[in-house]
Every structure is written in C-alpha cells, then in structure tokens.
Amino acid sequence: MARPSRHGPNQGGDIMITWCLEEEAAKDWHECSMKAESAVSTTPLHSPPTAVTTNVPKTTTTVSFNTEDLNEKIDKNVEKRIWNKKGEAEPTVLECPPLGLESLRVKDAQLQASSFKRRGLGPHRGRLNIQSGIEDGDIYDGAWCARYEDKKQWLQVDAMRLIRFTGVILQGRSSIWSWDWVHTYKVQTSNDSISWKPCMNGTKEAIFEGNRDSETPVLAVFPEPAVARYIRINPQTWYKNGTICLRAEVLGCTLPDPNKIYPWQMEQVIQDKLDFRHHNYKEMRKLMKSVNEACPNITRIYSIGKSYAGLKLYVMEISDNPGKHELGEPEFRYVAGMHGNEVLGRELLLNLMEYMCQEYKKGNQRVVQLVKDTRIHLLPSMNPDGYEMAYKKGSELSGWALGRYSWEGIDMNHNFADLNTVMWDAIELETDKSKLINHYFPIPEQYTSKDAFVAPETRAVISWMQNIPFVLSANLHGGELVVTYPFDMTRDWAPREHTPTPDDSFFRWLATVYASTNHVMSNPDRRPCHYVDFLRHNNIINGASWHTVPGSMNDFSYLHTNCFEVTVELSCDKFPHASELPAEWVNNKDSLLTYMEQVHRGIKGVVTDKETEAGIPDAIIKVDSIDHHIRSASDGDYWRLLNPGEYEITVTAEGYMPVTRKCQVYYEPHPTICDFRLTKTPKQRLREILAKGGKIPKDLQLRLRQLRTRKLRVTTKAINQRRASQQKIRASQR
C-alpha cells in the first residue's frame, strides 16, 4: 500500500501520519492507520484498541516486612541445631576481666621483655590476636619473639597499680611464613620488678599448658590468685621447628583505691543507663522486645529473612510513624554483625535502640528531631549463626576467625554481586559512551539462580535494599579503627589501588564525620591496631586503597540502589570483653548520631506529573559533573546526597519531557527542597489517550503536527545532503 500524502486534507490525516512515523510497535502501515483513525473519531471507542500498549516506568515490586511477635517461641528444630548441648550456649566465665593487651588499654611502654629479635617482634607486639602484615621482617610483625632460645626469656606486663591476677591467655605467632608457639610456660609476679615470686601449684612451681598451634587461644587459670603490680610470662618449651614467640592477654581484677593513689586510672562514669553486656540470640530478642514495649509509638520490630540455621534477621525500626514510608522522609540503616565474631557493632546498635527510646521519652531534642525527620532501621546481627559460634567460646577465647563466616562457610563481605566488573567491562567494550549506565546496575542472572553460592542472609539483605528506598547506611565491623568508603574493589584486581567513585568527595565527608567524632579514632596519640597506621590517613581510607574486596556490600549498595554506604571498623578488638562495652559506647555514641544526621544533607524533593500531580516513580535524577544518577522512589520522592555548592539538576522519566534547574546546597545540615514537575511527551499522551479510547485534544494535535513537520524537515535535509554528495562524486568521476 502506498503511504498517503503528507499534505492530508484534514487533521485526522496529519495525526495518522505523525503517529505512524513515531510508533515503532505497529506491525504494518495499515494497522497503524486504523489505530490513528480510531483515535481521531468524534465518537469515543467503547473499549481501547487491543493492539495498543502503554509504556509505563518500571517500578520495584514492594515486599512487606511484617511486624514480628517476639513472644513467639523459637522453633524447636532451630533450638536443637544451635544449642544442641546443655550449657554449650554459655561462654567460659572469667573470674576477672582482661587487663587490656588486646584492646590497647595497656600501653606499649607497659610491656617489656628479656630480649627480642628485632623491633617488629618487640614486646609491644605480644598482644592477643595482633595481626602481622603480609611480609615478615617489617615493624608490624605478629608476636613477641625472644632473641635467644633458652628458659630465661620472659615477657613482662606493668599494670601500673596493684592487680589481683587470676590467669593468662596465650597464643602463637601470627604469620603466613613461620610457625612459632610456646608449649609450656611459668608465671612470676612482683611489686617492684626486682624480686619475683613464682606462681605455685601447691608446693611446686606451676607449669602451664600453652599452645599446640599458632591461632587457638589457650586459657590458663592460676591455682591461687596473685596480688602484684608486675607479671611475667616465662616460656619453658616451644615448637621444635620454631622459636620462642607468643601473643598474650592477662586476666586481673583491679583492687579498690579508696585513697585515690591512682587517679589517672579511675573508671569513667557512664551517664546512660543501658544494658552493657553481650547478648546472644535469645537475649537480643528480649532486649529488642523490651525497647518496643517501652516505646511502642516510635518502634517496630520486623524480620527480613532467616539465616541458614533458621535464626531470624531482626530489624528495629525507629520512626514517628513506624511501618510506613512517609513522603519526603529519608530512610537510614545501620547493619552490624556481617562477620559474626565482630560483635561490638551488634552491642552498639542494641544500646542505640535503648538510648533513642529513653531520650525520646525525656524530650532530648536531638533524638526527637531524628525520630521525626528520619525512618531509621537497625539490623544488629546479619550473621547470627556466626555470632553464636563465637559467643560460645567467649570474648577472649574465640580467636581471630571463629564465627566470621556463615554457617555454610561464606564470607558475606565478599558475597554480594560483583557489579564493579559489570560496570568496568561495559566501559571498555561500549564504543558509544552515551549508551552506558552509571547506576541501578542489574544483578547478573547467574547470581540470582538457586544454585549460586549466595548465603540466604545475603539474599535477604539484597531484598531489603531493593524494597526500601534507603539513602544512607553504615556497615559496622571490628578488628581495626578506620572508616572505609567505596569503591572497595580495585579495577584490575590489583591487591590495593585507589579506586574512587564519582561521589568521592561526599564519601570522604561521610567517613570523616564518623572518624572525627569517634573518641578513639580522633586521638592523635593512639597506636596502630595491627600493621597499618591509619592515623596518617586521618582514620579514613578508600576501601580499595587498603585491600581489594570483590562483592562488598558497600559497592553493591552504591551501584544497585540509591544508597551510599561506608564501613566502620569500630575497635582493634573484634570481641571486646563486656567490661569494655560502656567505654566503647561513650567512644561511639556521638559518631552514631552524627552520622545518621548526614542523611539530611544535599537536596531532596518530589518528582510529579504536572497534569495529575501524581508522583513519578523511577525518575532519573542527574547531577551535572557527577557521573552517578539516582532514581525517585515509588511515590516520586527522592534524596540526593551532595556537598555544599550550586548544582545543575536534570530529571528525566520515561514518557516525560526532561526538566533542568539549579539547586543550591548550603552548609547547614538541612536538605534543599528541589521539586520537579514533568510534562508528558506528546507521544506518551497520545499512547494514554489511545489506550483509554479517548479523543485527542486540539493542543496535542497541534503539537504532534509540529513534531511531524520538524521530523520531515530533518529527513528531507538529510536526503538532499546525501543526493548532493552523490552528485559531486559522479561529477568527479567523469
């Protein structure tokens, strides 16, 4: 069939031609013509044409996380699996707490030794669970090692006051190249470091059992406690193919000081009345339940899924309207316990729940404002199975790795989809850079299959991320003192390399906010935890600059969702003793609150349809000069974290004309409101009218005619240019 003339006798002909030029889905010209003729009929159709499809913006299927009843009993099969032996769930009870070699409360100057091989193996390295670098021979090695191999070698601790010593925990050398540990040892105590008294077992000097490998901590309890200021560990036998090397913790109770002889060692007074102890799964449920009962109007408990062993992943929601997303209110999350043996984050989040409930009831304006303006989600234990493994051993005896992995042996810090590689491969292969995406990268199909080696805990967190429009998050870890920010993975699989995101300046701000308000991190006199001196970096670092982590939650969050996330390494000690929890709360309380408040920086607003005023989901918000976009939530609201400055913002949505405006971000911690009202494209309006069987308005007819004329002009110009070019070629060939 010949196409009709572009100079049709009526409006219907013009509309028909324009529609047929733009509609790509039409099967042939006749079908397209029939659609357009129906559309301009004076009598509306009784039903929309079946051949017409309406393109709507893609939206995420919302999953409801129902409120949990913590009065419900734990499943019997789960109970049997986790706590199958009587008394197994409770850790070893120590008569006295650790002195603080592992947590660094004991300073380097308090440690001395009979001899040491070199500086990197000096007495200051003889701390329980201290880790060495990859290379032996540097100043950060993994133990105290004596220079000589005889029974006269010793490691000495000066407690700086009288202590009731009750035991010692010993460990071998941390090294991937050497095997060194002590088999047996003696202990002596002294009040003046000159005359020494041996630890006795009846009438004989006690000989204590040490290690049989380099990593497992071994506890030795003294037959009788010894009151003294100094204590020495004196190795007697050691691994035959190694040398005298050890890492240690000393257990002891502080004696009363009524005369205040040691004022510098007075215990810190904690004002907040919180439950400072370690909570296993059952105790965690009780605490969360008590907080919910104390503050039912601002709290809600829900579960995002279950662990491999069947323990629920509980979340505490704190909001003035719990259970609902309020238009314009940002969503914030803290996640702790990804590694089950890094327990401080878990206890800090439980304390944070209690604190916010108590302070809200007291009218603390800072807390009240946070609750009113933010929807807060606290996941205290992402890996409850791993935690229970570590908890059964106890804070000083779980070692460096027990409980780190999931029940299946998965490290969840490497278990999220590697979208970095997807992005970088696309950049290398795509010649047309305009086709590249820079956000909401889809998850590879092989990752989502049931056979993929993905932990159920990881899948649950991904579903949580996809169904709540989180804006800001922090992932709480332990074992170091530093805040890391994306990217966590290096581009070319290098062991370490600075790999920034397009939002590097804002991520640096986020990391600095937490680190600078943390009492320990901000202390300029603190020593490094293990083998990296993060003080040189102001206690923040790009994750990939430290070590590459493929499949991290931080990178996944940034590339697959709108949420910005950092990792906070909270303490040198992964599993601090319960006696240290009050001080750790003081160290981190202001950091936790201040970081949450950063969710209100930048710009926010609502993207709406200019005609209907309805929110537009999945609208793309582009910031000029930052190659990373975000999207609006299901109600059309959005939040874009930005540093102070003036930005040109462009919003686009499928079926709408793009809108650009300038927005100013100020230094005050309040977002700038930047709303956008979008107008449907003529094509989209026509599609919707056709779908409803309606009559095309005159303004749309005029607009479509203008578009048709413009398109024909462009096409005619291109044809004429091509003909002129061909004529020149023929003329030159003659």
Decide if 332 is inside a domain. Answer: yes
Q: What is the mean pLDDT of the chain?
A: 87
Question: What is the rounded CA–CA span in Å between residue 624 and residue 93?
Answer: 59
Decide if 97 is inside a domain. Answer: no
The answer to whether residues 612 and 420 touch, using CB atoms and an 8 Å cutoff, is no
Last residue of a domain, one of 600, 620, 652: 600
Last residue of a domain, one of 552, 580, 600: 600
Residues 670 and 543 in one domain: no
Residues 479 and 565 in one domain: yes
Q: What is the pLDDT of residue 136?
A: 63
Section 153-182 average pLDDT: 94
Parallel, antiparallel, or unpaired: how do β-strands 603-609 and 672-673 relate? Answer: parallel
Decide if 270 is inside a domain. Answer: no
Which CATH number characterizes residue 571's domain?
3.40.630.10
Residue 364 pLDDT more than 80? yes
Number of domains in the chain: 4
Residues 501 and 608 in one domain: no
Q: What is the pLDDT of residue 34?
A: 37
The answer to whether residues 75 and 310 touch, using CB atoms and an 8 Å cutoff, is yes
Q: DSSP of 87-154, one letter per residue?
A: TTTSPPPPSS-B-STTTT-S-GGGEEES--SSGGGSGGG-BTT----SSTTSS--SSEE-SS-STT--
Residues 143 and 237 in one domain: yes
Query: Residue 334 class from Cβ within 10 Å (0-12 exposed, 13-18 middle, 19+ buried)?
Result: buried
Question: What is the rounded CA–CA span in Å between residue 686 and residue 40?
Answer: 11
Decide if 91 is inside a domain. Answer: no
Residue 1 pLDDT more than 70? no
The distance from CA 86 to its chain's CA centroid, rounded to whole angstroms, is: 36
pLDDT digits (tens, 9 = 90+) for 420-462: 999 999 998 887 777 888 999 999 999 988 889 999 999 999 9
Residues 582 and 644 in one domain: no
Residue 103 pLDDT more than 80? yes
Residue with tokens 């001899």: 115
Residues in the chain: 734
Question: What is the rounded CA–CA span in Å between residue 134 and residue 139?
Answer: 12
Residues 505 and 620 in one domain: no
Helix (H) or strand (E) holding 221: strand 218-238
Residues in contact with 544: Cβ distance below 8 Å, sequence separation at least 6, in sequence order? 487, 488, 489, 490, 496, 497, 498, 499
Residues 566 and 632 in one domain: no
Q: Which domain holds residue 244?
A: 108-259
Residues 30 and 163 in one domain: no
Question: What is the rounded CA–CA span in Å between residue 427 and residue 560?
Answer: 17
Residues 242 and 300 in one domain: no
Question: What is the rounded CA–CA span in Å between residue 724 and residue 721?
Answer: 5
Question: What is the rounded CA–CA span in Å between residue 197 and residue 187?
Answer: 9
The answer to whether residues 552 and 432 touch, using CB atoms and an 8 Å cutoff, is no
Residues 394 and 321 in one domain: yes
Crossing angle for the helix pair 419-429 and 553-560, to the nearest 10 degrees: 50
What are residue 523's phi and psi, to 5 degrees?
Answer: -80, 115
Residue with tokens 């071994």: 218
Residues 292 and 238 in one domain: no
Q: What is the pLDDT of residue 85?
A: 59
Question: What is the rounded CA–CA span in Å between residue 596 and residue 334?
Answer: 9
Instruction: State the catalytic residues.
Output: 569
Decide if 669 is inside a domain. Answer: yes
Q: What is the largest CA-CA distance in the chain?
A: 121
Section 302-314 average pLDDT: 96
Question: What is the rounded CA–CA span in Å between residue 472 and residue 510?
Answer: 10
Residues 332 and 383 in one domain: yes
What are residue 309's phi and psi, to 5 degrees?
Answer: -85, -5
Which CATH number characterizes residue 182's domain?
2.60.120.260
pLDDT digits (tens, 9 = 90+) for 596-641: 999 999 999 999 999 999 999 999 999 999 999 999 999 999 999 9
The answer to whether residues 4 and 17 touch, using CB atoms and an 8 Å cutoff, is yes
Decide if 74 is inside a domain. Answer: no
Decide if 59 is inside a domain. Answer: no
Residue 5 pLDDT more than 70? no
Which CATH number characterizes residue 660's domain?
2.60.40.1120
Residues in contact with 308: Cβ distance below 8 Å, sequence separation at least 6, in sequence order? 385, 406, 407, 408, 455, 456, 457
The answer to whether residues 112 and 159 touch, using CB atoms and an 8 Å cutoff, is no
End-to-end CA distance of the chain: 39
Last residue of a domain, one of 600, 626, 646: 600
Decide if 27 is inside a domain. Answer: yes
